[in-house]
Amino acid sequence: MNTLLKTFPPILNQPLKMLIDGQWVSSQSGATLSVINPSNGQVIAQESLGGQVDVDLAVQAARRALDSGPWQKMRPSERTRLMLKLADTIEQNGDELAMLETLNTGKPLKMARAFDISMAAECLRYNAGWATKLHGETRNVSLPGEWHAFTLREPVGVVGLIVPWNVPLAMAVSKIAPAIAAGCTVVLKPAELTPLTALRLGELIQEVGFPAGVINMVTGLGHEAGQAIVSHPGIDKISFTGSTAVGKSILAAASGNLKRVALELGGKSPVFIFADADLERAMDAAARGIFGNTGQVCAAGSRLFVHKKVADRVIEGIAQRARQLKVASGLSPDAEMGPVISERQRERVLEYIASGREDGAEIVTGGEAIQGEGFFVQPTVIVNTHPRMKIVQEEIFGPVLSTQIFDDESLEQLAERGNDSIYGLSSSIWTRDLRTAHQMIRRLKAGNVRVNAAAALDFAMPFGGYKQSGWGRENGREGVEAYTELKSVAIDLN
């Protein structure tokens, strides 16, 4: 057991170990990296930096667990039971997991508890049900004579799971859960910045009794451990969430053995507020949609389009909400927004804001770093933007909202402005007019559309992107089936 995480709070001298083949092990190289609390910049732990050799051991373990041993013989209903038990165990350890998440990401503790931890448990419960419900079909073929033809759904194999730092536990679980429901075995690489909750999850996975090698965890750097996973010939599929740039590099690295690749990438999601909308609700949701999790959300509503008639009121209303937000360390009981994840990420966000200023945009509120310890940035609202500005085109992944105004242009033209992006992940439409809503739904090039709601996530609903926001869908039946291969079988009965 990685007993270090049991030492609480996790201010550690010895590096955290990695989970390979049911054992807690150090990296072969012995190299380590400091894990930082972004609320104060202090070191809270040391993680092992896994490399090629460690990934190789993890892949071999996952392969053995897939091809032989208890996992392979386990009935689907037993997989369901294990997954439900893990969900309960996550909840029983919810306070501790939330505290680890807050220490490692800076997010408000009450949000970590209410959102991240619950989401992890619910994701397991949703996917647990699929283990017993995946199936093939008989097919009515027209071959001469008499045939029995059917399809079989089989696990795709050993899956490499690579996740980012914005919702570390929930993100790890959202990839592990459908993969194991489908009968796969996995090698997970958490983000280098946020390994704590994934490793604690690894301990809980062992506690509930998953067989050795089914779920392996290698911590480390993207260009080392991550690269070793995506190029490994023993891995059958990669599921990645992160930046579009890394997503593209993964496609190239995965081509060696033509791995299946699923990509959940960035976004620059539009929010449309029409003049007839319930403006108070729309403003609340728009503010939550860009400042929630400090804007570090792939589906964050980062481009606001608001009708001219209500633009002043709406922009001021959102700016007011931004000014009132209590920005503080996640451990502070009244914190509503925490820091960004790292010094580097803060620089990135500030560079974007500076570029907006240079391009002639105007900051209504925010726009500055918050001085003192930790990596805090003010929630920021920007007006006078132009569609070609970098702050309008590129994913900032911080609490920065750019706004544009529309008038009585056609819905085609408005949707075109919304679609003017390399991304197509999410979008929200605020109106009381059904025709406006439906016409916009059809015209928007986005994987997810919400009407009179911010980007809401439910595990029954497929989630994924059009265009450069990704490949494939997570959640729902589609999300589990993505971890299967389909075998077509025909038996000649003549």
Q: Which is nearer to Mg ion, 84 or 221 (CB)?
A: 221
- What's the rounded Cα separation, in Å, for the pair 41 and 39? 6
Fill in the DSSP letter of residue 15.
P
- What's the rounded Cα separation, in Å, for the pair 66 and 166? 30
Task: Answer yes or no: are the C-beta atoms of 272 and 315 closer than 8 Å.
Answer: no
298 binds, among Mg ion, ligand NAP, none (CB under 5 to 8 A by kind): ligand NAP
User: Which residues in 334-370 are b (16+ Cβ under 10 Å) and which e?
Assistant: ebbbbbbbbeebbeebbebbeebeeeebebbbbbebe
Q: Which is nearer to Mg ion, 190 or 356 (CB)?
A: 190
- What's the rounded Cα separation, in Å, for the pair 469 and 426? 9
404 binds, among Mg ion, ligand NAP, none (CB under 5 to 8 A by kind): none
- Least distance from Mg ion to the Cβ atom of residue 444, Å: 29
Q: Which is nearer to Mg ion, 213 or 222 (CB)?
A: 222
Catalytic residue among 47, 122, 224, 264: 264
Residue type for position 267:
G
- What's the rounded Cα separation, in Å, for the pair 355 and 389? 8
- Least distance from ligand NAP to the Cβ atom of residue 444, Å: 19
Q: Which is nearer to Mg ion, 48 or 404 (CB)?
A: 48
- The β-bridge relationship of strands 185-189 and 237-241 is unpaired
Chain residue at closest Cβ approach to Mg ion: 222
Task: Answer yes or no: are the C-beta atoms of 176 and 239 closer than 8 Å.
Answer: no
- What's the rounded Cα separation, in Å, for the pair 27 and 390? 40
- Least distance from Mg ion to the Cβ atom of residue 448, Å: 24
State how far Cα 444 lies from the chain centre.
22
- Least distance from Mg ion to the Cβ atom of residue 36, Å: 15
Q: Which is nearer to ligand NAP, 172 or 405 (CB)?
A: 172
Query: Per DSSP, what are the bridge partners of residue 262?
Result: 239
- Least distance from Mg ion to the Cβ atom of residue 344, Å: 9
- What's the rounded Cα separation, in Å, for the pair 341 and 375? 7
Chain residue at closest Cβ approach to ligand NAP: 222
- Least distance from ligand NAP to the Cβ atom of residue 194, Å: 8
- The contact set with ligand NAP (CB under 6 A) reads 162-166, 189, 191-193, 221-223, 226-227, 230, 241-243, 246, 249-250, 264-266, 298, 348, 395, 397
- Least distance from ligand NAP to the Cβ atom of residue 359, Å: 19
Residue type for position 238:
I
Task: Write down the residue that tokens 């419900």 correspond to.
Answer: 133
Own/partner contacts of 20-23, CB < 8 Å, gap of 24 or more, are 20/54, 20/57, 20/58, 20/61, 20/216, 20/217, 20/218, 21/57, 21/58, 21/60, 21/61, 21/64, 21/212, 21/213, 21/216, 22/61, 22/206, 22/211, 22/212, 22/213, 23/212
Is 264 part of the annotated catalytic residue set?
yes
Collapsed DSSP state (helix, strand, coil) of residue 286: helix
- The contact set with Mg ion (CB under 5 A) reads 222
265 binds, among Mg ion, ligand NAP, none (CB under 5 to 8 A by kind): ligand NAP
- Least distance from Mg ion to the Cβ atom of residue 222, Å: 5
Catalytic residue among 123, 298, 395, 474: 298
Q: List C-alpha distances in Å: 54 to 219, 224, 324.
A: 9, 11, 47
Is 343 part of the annotated catalytic residue set?
no
Q: Which is nearer to Mg ion, 50 or 222 (CB)?
A: 222
125 binds, among ligand NAP, Mg ion, none (CB under 5 to 8 A by kind): none
Residue type for position 115:
F
Q: Which is nearer to ligand NAP, 397 or 430 (CB)?
A: 397
Catalytic site positions: 264, 298
